[in-house]
Amino acid sequence: MGEAQKGLLSVIEKLKGSTEQEVRIVLLGLDNAGKTTLLKSLASEDVNTITPTQGFNIKSVASHGMKLNVWDIGGQRKIRPFWKKYLENTDLLIYVIDSADKKRFEETGLELSELIDEENLKGVPVLIFANKQDLATASPASEIAEGLNLHTYRDREWQIQACSAMSGEGVQDGMNWICNNIVNRKK
């Protein structure tokens, strides 16, 4: 069993006291950030054959009366204007950043800022995965957080988590954050 699957299962285990609770998670980020790799890793699927998402992928995991519905929406520039159509009733936003693609930090920061201002995401917690930490050129999560001015997001819970969607490293910590923040929010 992969580390990411163990992470997701441990979150579900912690939530097993709830009945029939559904959590709607929207997974966004620029193209090539690693969103689909992260989603496939969480679903224990092969992460070696990923193709760019042209629309969206949905994965649902059910266990102990809990259903996590994760919407992975493509990040190409032509698709981004449609992101807001998927935000209604969102319990958590997961935003994935390619930590090694410094040339696109400004662009990804602008997209995240626009999402934070969306009415349907008002007060919704945000988990930012600083992905591709396994690459030598990756910026540390703390540096990315500073560059994105995350400290200015005072109207919601947020967390930045260094990870590698390919290896699963750091994903467990992000899943634990989801468990501790989303579930408490929904009670």
Domain span including residue 100: 3-186
Number of compact structural domains in the chain: 1
What pLDDT sits at residue 49?
79
Residue 55, pLDDT score: 80
Write the DSSP assignment of 64-103 as a string of letters.
Answer: TTEEEEEEEE--STTTGGGGGGG-TT-SEEEEEEETT-GG
pLDDT, residue 64, reads 37
Across the 187 residues of the chain, what is the mean pLDDT of every consecutive 10-residue run? Answer: 56 54 90 91 79 82 62 92 94 96 96 96 95 98 95 93 93 81 59
Annotated ligand binding at 102? The verdict is no
Residue 60 pLDDT = 82
Is 17 annotated in a binding site? The answer is no
Strand pairing partners for 112? none
Residues belonging to the active site: 76
The answer to whether 2 is annotated as binding is: no
Q: Are 86 and 121 in contact (CB under 8 A)?
A: no
Task: State residue 45's pLDDT score.
Answer: 80
Question: Any binding-site annotation on 159?
Answer: no
CATH number at residue 134: 3.40.50.300
